[in-house]
């Protein structure tokens, strides 16, 4: 790899300068680093990786060197940059804390205190590119709620739409709805004892109850694999919206580890689309 590219990908060491609870299930952690001076507002909603040292690996200063082999020495988890204050050299990340996510990411966020150091990669550009649609459909769960909030934050004040949130805390809905006057929020209580098909059916039920306008609709859908797949099918075949180029991201799969999910995604990419017409035959409609 050329030296210049190595420099670009060398991780950053940041220090925790503030930790704050948001509602009952989130922790907002503010990180500071000189490198954040050059991060632009267009990266709010972009992704970065937090890098947790494996036991026996080099220390952070050595891992942050341009030529270090940090990829093999660290466990990585992806997060959304929720906000940036370049002048103060600060960024915020919001961590969802719920019983199932007890891996390295949630464990670090739970225990983080002011003065702790962490290693991270540079954020990508934001994921929602079209900021002038007439109407937005945003679907998220607890871990993708920060991405949904960052997306809404990037929209003009007159933007309109709906957010469907699948999380533990119904107050998440009012928090999101208060960000933009033209946004309504629809909460679906998270219940991990349900199979993903039922959770997906609840989302489709929520979508059916909404008054989605015809015309210029943009989607931003991030969540569990089955939910994202069924929502996309409904939007495409049921609502006849061309989803090409819109952001649909299945970032986790129930009962799968991250590695298993990555493998399943790769296999899925190689398989052809199963059906050209939306049908809820395979969905279990709760209470039906
Ligand atoms: C692009 C992207 C952006 C992300 N942004 C954020 C963010 O801003 N804030 C944040 O908190 N997380 C975010 N995540 C999720 C994050 O990367 C981790 O997956 C999460 O913090 C759990 O990490 P962990 O190491 O604690 O547990 P892991 O060891 O990664 O996972 C433990 C188990 O929890 C399951 N799991 C993952 N997500 C959920 C969920 N929503 N509900 C129930 N179970 C789940 C996984 O299937 C896994 O089996 C993002 C992920 C992606 C891909």
**pLDDT recorded at residue 285:** 40
pLDDT confidence of residue 100: 62
pLDDT for residue 280: 43
Q: Could you tell me which of 128, 124, 90, 96 has the C-alpha nearest to residue 110?
A: 96
Q: Give percent above pLDDT 90 in the chain.
A: 71
pLDDT at 283: 45
pLDDT band at 99; cut points 50, 70, 90? low
Atom of ligand 1 nearest to the CA of 26: 11
Residue 19 C-alpha from the chain's centroid: 20
**Distance from Cα 267 to the centre of ligand 1, integer Å:** 21
Residue 166 in this model has a pLDDT that exceeds 70: yes
pLDDT tens-digit map of 100-152: 657 899 999 999 999 999 999 999 999 998 999 999 999 999 999 999 999 99
Ligand 1, atom 19: closest residue by C-alpha: 77
Ligand 1 atom with minimal separation from the 107 CA:
26
φ, ψ for residue 12, nearest 5 deg: -110, 140
CA 180 to chain centroid: 19
DSSP 195-232: -HHHHHHHHHHHHHTS-PPSS-EEEEEEEEHHHHHHHH
Q: How confident is the model at residue 85 (pLDDT cuts 50, 70, 90)?
A: very high
Residue 98 per-residue DSSP state: -
The pocket around ligand 1, CB under 6 angstroms, is made up of: 47, 77-80, 93-96, 100-101, 103-106, 141-143, 146-147, 251-252, 256-258
Instruction: Work out whether the CA dihedral 93, 41, 228, 174 comes out positive or negative.
Output: positive
Q: pLDDT exceeding 70 applies to what percent of the chain?
A: 90
Residue 14 alpha carbon to ligand 1 centre in Å: 21
What separation in angstroms does the CA of 268 have from each of 229, 262, 287? 11, 10, 30
Residue 60 tokens read as 């952070």
pTM of the prediction? Answer: 0.88
* pLDDT band at 276; cut points 50, 70, 90: very low
Rounded to the nearest angstrom, the distance between the alpha carbon of 216 and the centre of ligand 1 is 31
The CB-side HSE value for 75 (13 A sphere, CA atoms) comes to 13
Strands (E) located in the chain: 12-22, 26-32, 47-53, 74-80, 83-85, 90-96, 117-120, 135-141, 161-167, 183-189, 217-224, 247-252
Own/partner contacts of 63-71, CB < 8 Å, gap of 24 or more, are 63/11, 63/119, 64/10, 64/11, 64/12, 64/13, 64/119, 65/10, 66/3, 66/6, 66/7, 66/10, 67/6, 68/10, 70/11, 70/119
Asked whether residue 165 carries a pLDDT value surpassing 60, the answer given is yes
Beta strands at 90-96 and 26-32: parallel, antiparallel or unpaired: antiparallel
Q: How far is the CA of 140 from the centre of ligand 1 (A)?
A: 12
* CB-based burial, 209-237: b 16+ in 10 Å, e otherwise: eeebeeeebbbbbbbbbbbbbbbbbbbbe
Task: Give distance in angstroms: CA of 79 to centre of ligand 1.
Answer: 8
Place 279 in a pLDDT band, splitting at 50, 70 and 90: very low
pLDDT at 27 over 90: yes
**Strands 135-141 and 217-224, how do they pair?**
parallel
């Amino acid at each position: 790899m050329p030296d210049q590219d190595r420099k670009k990908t060398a991780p950053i060491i940041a220090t925790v300068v503030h930790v704050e609870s948001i509602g009952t299930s989130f922790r907002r952690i503010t990180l500071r680093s000189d490198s954040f001076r050059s991060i632009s507002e267009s990266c709010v909603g972009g992704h970065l990786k937090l890098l947790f040292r494996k036991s026996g690996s080099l220390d952070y200063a050595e891992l942050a060197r341009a030529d270090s082999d940090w990829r093999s020495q660290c466990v990585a988890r992806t997060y959304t940059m929720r906000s940036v204050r370049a002048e103060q050299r600060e960024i915020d990340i919001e961590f969802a804390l719920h019983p199932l996510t007890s891996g390295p990411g949630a464990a670090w966020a739970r225990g983080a205190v002011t003065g702790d150091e962490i290693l991270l990669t540079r954020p990508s550009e934001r994921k929602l590119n079209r900021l002038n649609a007439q109407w937005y459909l945003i679907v998220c769960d607890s871990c993708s709620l920060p991405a949904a909030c960052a997306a809404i934050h990037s929209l003009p004040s007159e933007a309109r739409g709906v957010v469907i949130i699948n999380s533990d805390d119904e107050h998440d809905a009012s928090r999101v709805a208060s960000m933009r006057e033209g946004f309504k929020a629809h909460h679906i209580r998270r219940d991990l004892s349900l199979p993903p098909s039922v959770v997906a059916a609840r989302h489709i039920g929520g979508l059916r109850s909404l008054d989605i306008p015809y015309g210029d609709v943009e989607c931003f859908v991030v969540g569990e694999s089955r939910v994202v797949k069924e929502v996309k099918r409904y939007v495409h075949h049921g609502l006849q919206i061309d989803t090409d180029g819109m952001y649909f991201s299945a970032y986790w799969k129930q009962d799968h580890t991250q590695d298993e999910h990555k493998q399943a995604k790769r296999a899925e990419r190689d398989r052809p689309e199963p059906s050209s017409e939306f049908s809820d035959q395979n969905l279990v409609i709760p209470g039906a």
